[in-house]
Amino acid sequence: MRGGRGGAGSVGRGERDTVAGGARLYEAARAVVDDHGRAVEAIRAALKPIHDAAVKRELDAIPVTRLQDVTEGRLRLGSVEKSSLRTVGSVLDAGPYRLRQIPGVGQRTVDQMLAAARRLSEAVHESVAVHIDVDHPEPSTTALVMALHVLVEAGPDARRAVDKATVLVERLGLLLTDARPAAGRFRMLLAAQEKKTRALAAVAEIRSLMDEAERAGLPGLFAQASVDLLRAPESDVAAWVDFELRSAEYYSLLAEISGHLSDAAAAEGFLPDEIAERVRTQRLDDAHRRVSLRGYQAFGARFALAQRKVILGDEMGLGKTIQAIAVLAHLAAEGQSHFLVVCPASVLVNWTREIEARSALRVTVLHGPDRHHAFADWKGRGGVAVTTFDALRGFPSPGGGEVGLLVVDEAHFVKNPNAKRSQAVALWAERCGRALFMTGTPMENRVVEFRDLVRMLDEGVAASLGERDALAGSVAFRKAVAPVYLRRNQEDVLTELPSLQQTDEWEELSTSDEEAYRDAVRAGNFMAMRRAAYMGPEKSAKLDRLREIVQEAGENGQKTVVFSYFKDVLAVVKESLAAEITDGAPVFGPLTGSVPAGRRQQIVDDFAGASGPAVLLAQIQAAGVGLNLQAASVVVICEPQIKPTLEHQAVARAHRMGQVRPVRVHRLLAIGGVDERMVKMLETKTRLFDAYARRSAVAEASPDAVDVSDTELARRIVEEEQVRLGMREDGMTEERLTAAE
């Protein structure tokens, strides 16, 4: 037979082409794996000197007497303590010869000392976490940030490519070896019958793998991944800027590569073994996801999938929204088509933006006068619908299996079973096969309310939560709620804490907000436009969100500082907080330019000295310089600032050396108006040019030198808003544009 394809001893062009194509796919896959390996090794090489220095600092701080603890008191260190060797680090540096020179120290003591010191050194190596100081970059940390930038920038697609490539390299490597005789006509003729048979079988498998890879788009994925993995940052400054914008992703990657992951039991919420094991084995598909997960976040998503109806109660700042999106993306990959997110109106826009940015899922907003038309559209086309608690009551509840997942954010809003919003959520939860309730408020501290929330998900678990024998925090309580409840705290799961987490809180103006804003635009009053969202406190969307943030911080025992440029905004905030939500938590301030410097410091000291949660109100230009606000771990900025340096300086008052918790910054922004225009106009400057400026001694000495003209910015925004709203007026005075209050 010549050129035939059917005989065991023949090989045609088709077989040869298949082997050649398989070899090309193998090389492409291996290139991705190798490129990723080099990127990982670059990170490890950059990390090693920083980690070693951190270990040395730690060992140099451990007194030599700790060696007795390691040996259970068997070591006699009297002579050593009298020498110049005061720390465990100095003992290791000294080595056996120098230790032997200490009077009264024999070889046995030297051996015991060094063995104990090495045990402590190993423990420190395992536990020391590297912290990247963004305010004091050094060559070593710059090298690490630049190495991390490559993998962070490559993103989840590169990770997906590496995972697929690793499997292909392993499978194709063996098959290509077996198929080698089929690569040439004469090789096949000379091969033994057994090798010929094995070669043709391997060719068939290679062809199948190539078809499968083509359908999955792997050649394109591999090519793009290799490009991304070889792309270095434009400059060290660009890498640092990116680190500031998404430090959590950098720290997540650093923890994974360094092996310094959080304690497994803490990351798994101290769940019973049988539940934790079931969750670990739950598959998590990332095909529709555009964000990488930290280990504890992946576990949280798997918990929701494995247990079907659960409450995710992670502390604020641990990424509950990202975990919910991971669940949605997985279920979409499995073929589910309809999902519903229910949340307070204050976070509806944020949910929409997060889903669009971090997944490939389609989003439909069910809110406002057209919500019923939007509901019908969602029913027909599918995707993720996002609505509010109040709007939910107006929609017909689904049939069984119709909605793949119900997500309820700020679930403590529905803890009262007699409230209509709670009844609506309970009905939807009953009709949906899966439900994910989310709350950063530690509900387990209120057993009665917690039980009512759990009852919507699992009657049996709710019935087991008696008030006497299920005290919050007890072993019995944790075991009873484990099937439906997962909570992790920052200090337990973030070994390398992102020191600064920034969140833009986009709000949709209420009707009264919109009226006040239109009046300000009509008058050409730029400063009135900026504070219009607070002028109707009883219906203020920004104020509603601010109260929620302060409430949640208080529930978690955290102090909050609230910044605004405007005195009257701070007055509105103070009245609202004092009247409604602080539950006895004191409200200090406001700190303004008219408060004498000595009095300002006294207010700050009182705020820091308050036991438990507290709130400090401060005018951003008055409190941004010269005060230490590190008692606060939550910062709220009421409106965007014309000068980004004002925000940087204000946040730096709380986020500075000595801060033992990460600082979470919330910027309250209104969509479709002055806030959005200011953010867009200043975006490039804030992220890049200002980052250069903050690393420039000249610019730090004169921060105003790099800010755009206040007057020009204000004029442009007012004119554009008047055009947008159909009320353009000429002849605005410069005084009107720049008047502060």
The CA distance from 313 to 311, in Å, is 6
Tell me if 350 sits within 8 A of 545, measured CB to CB.
no
How large is the average pLDDT for residues 541-565?
Answer: 90
Tell me if 670 sits within 8 A of 542, measured CB to CB.
yes
Confidence of residue 376 (pLDDT cuts 50, 70, 90): very high
**In terms of C-beta distances under 8 Å and separation of at least 24 residues, what long-range contacts does 384-387 make, across chains too?**
384/328, 384/339, 384/340, 384/341, 384/355, 385/338, 385/339, 385/340, 385/341, 386/340, 386/341, 386/343, 386/348, 386/351, 386/352, 386/355, 387/340, 387/341, 387/342, 387/343, 387/348
Whole-Å CA distances, 177 to 170, 172, 199, 375? 11, 8, 9, 57
pLDDT of residue 496 exceeding 60: no
Distance linking the first and last C-alpha atoms of the chain: 95
Q: Which residue has the higher pLDDT, 316 or 276?
A: 276
Q: Which residue has the higher pLDDT, 462 or 262?
A: 462
- Which of the residue ranges 209-213, 640-644, 650-654, 719-723 has the most confident prediction, judged by mean pLDDT? 209-213
Place of tokens 């709203």: 725
Give start and end residues of each alpha helix (H) in 482-566. 490-493, 511-522, 526-531, 541-555
Domain range summary for the chain, segments of one domain joined by +: 13-53+134-239, 60-127, 263-493, 500-738
Q: What DSSP assignment string belongs to 638-664?
A: SS--SSHHHHHHHHHHHSSTT--S-EE
- Burial class, 397, CB count within 10 angstroms (exposed 0-12 / middle 13-18 / buried 19+): middle
Would the CA dihedral through 89, 90, 95, 99 be positive or negative? Answer: negative
Confidence of residue 448 (pLDDT cuts 50, 70, 90): confident
- Give the pLDDT score at 10: 52
Give ∠ CA 450-453-459 in degrees, rounded to 5.
105
Confidence of residue 192 (pLDDT cuts 50, 70, 90): low
pLDDT of residue 706 exceeding 60: no
Lowest-confidence segment of 302-311, 365-374, 530-539 by average pLDDT = 530-539
Q: Which residue has the higher pLDDT, 546 or 5?
A: 546
- Give the pLDDT score at 718: 86
- Give the pLDDT score at 695: 36
pLDDT of residue 394 exceeding 60: yes
pLDDT of residue 49 exceeding 90: yes
- Give the pLDDT score at 601: 73
Which tokens go with 577?
């907080």
The CA distance from 102 to 83, in Å, is 7
Which tokens go with 483?
């099937």
Please give the CATH architecture assigned to the domain spanning 500-738. 3-Layer(aba) Sandwich (3.40)
Place domain 60-127 in its CATH homologous superfamily: 5' to 3' exonuclease, C-terminal subdomain (1.10.150.20)
Tell whether domain 263-493 is in CATH 3.40.50.10810: yes
Domains 263-493 and 500-738 alike in fold: yes
The CA distance from 178 to 206, in Å, is 10
365 CB contacts (<8 Å, ≥6 apart)?
348, 352, 374, 385, 386, 387
pLDDT of residue 472 exceeding 80: no
Q: What is the CA radius of gyration of the chain?
A: 31
Confidence of residue 112 (pLDDT cuts 50, 70, 90): confident
> Between 218-229 and 139-178, two packed helices, what is the crossing angle to 10 degrees?
150
- Give the pLDDT score at 115: 86
How large is the average pLDDT for residues 102-126?
Answer: 83
pTM (predicted TM-score): 0.63
pLDDT of residue 273 exceeding 70: yes
How large is the average pLDDT for residues 658-662?
Answer: 53
Q: What is the mean pLDDT of the chain?
A: 82
Q: How far is CA 574 from the centre of its chain?
A: 30
Would the CA dihedral through 464, 466, 468, 473 be positive or negative? Answer: positive
Specify the 3-state DSSP secondary structure of 471.
Answer: coil
pLDDT of residue 36 exceeding 90: yes
Confidence of residue 647 (pLDDT cuts 50, 70, 90): confident
Confidence of residue 314 (pLDDT cuts 50, 70, 90): confident
pLDDT of residue 16 exceeding 50: yes
Give start and end residues of each alpha helix (H) in 179-272. 185-190, 193-215, 218-229, 236-245, 247-258, 264-267
pLDDT of residue 705 exceeding 70: no
How large is the average pLDDT for residues 129-151?
Answer: 87
- Give the pLDDT score at 261: 57
Q: Cis peptide leading into 590, omega within 30 of 0?
A: yes
**How many CA within 13 A on the CB side of residue 635?**
32
pLDDT of residue 6 exceeding 50: no
145 CB contacts (<8 Å, ≥6 apart)?
132, 137, 236, 239, 240, 243, 250
**How many CA within 13 A on the CB side of residue 502?**
16
The CA distance from 643 to 51, in Å, is 37
What percentage of the chain reaches a pLDDT higher than 70? 82
Residue 114, H or E segment? helix 107-127
How large is the average pLDDT for residues 368-375?
Answer: 94
- Give the pLDDT score at 698: 33
- Give the pLDDT score at 168: 93
How large is the average pLDDT for residues 558-586?
Answer: 84
What is Dmax (Cα atoms) for the chain? Answer: 101
59-87 per-position pLDDT tens digit = 888 887 777 766 665 666 667 767 778 88
How large is the average pLDDT for residues 282-298?
Answer: 89
Q: How far is CA 698 from the centre of its chain?
A: 34
Tell me if 596 sits within 8 A of 571, measured CB to CB.
no
**How many CA within 13 A on the CB side of residue 161?**
31
Lowest-confidence segment of 14-23, 99-108, 277-286, 295-304 by average pLDDT = 99-108
Confidence of residue 185 (pLDDT cuts 50, 70, 90): low
- Give the pLDDT score at 615: 93
Whole-Å CA distances, 132 to 10, 86, 137, 139, 728? 62, 29, 8, 12, 49
The CA distance from 342 to 411, in Å, is 9
Lowest-confidence segment of 281-295, 345-359, 439-453 by average pLDDT = 439-453
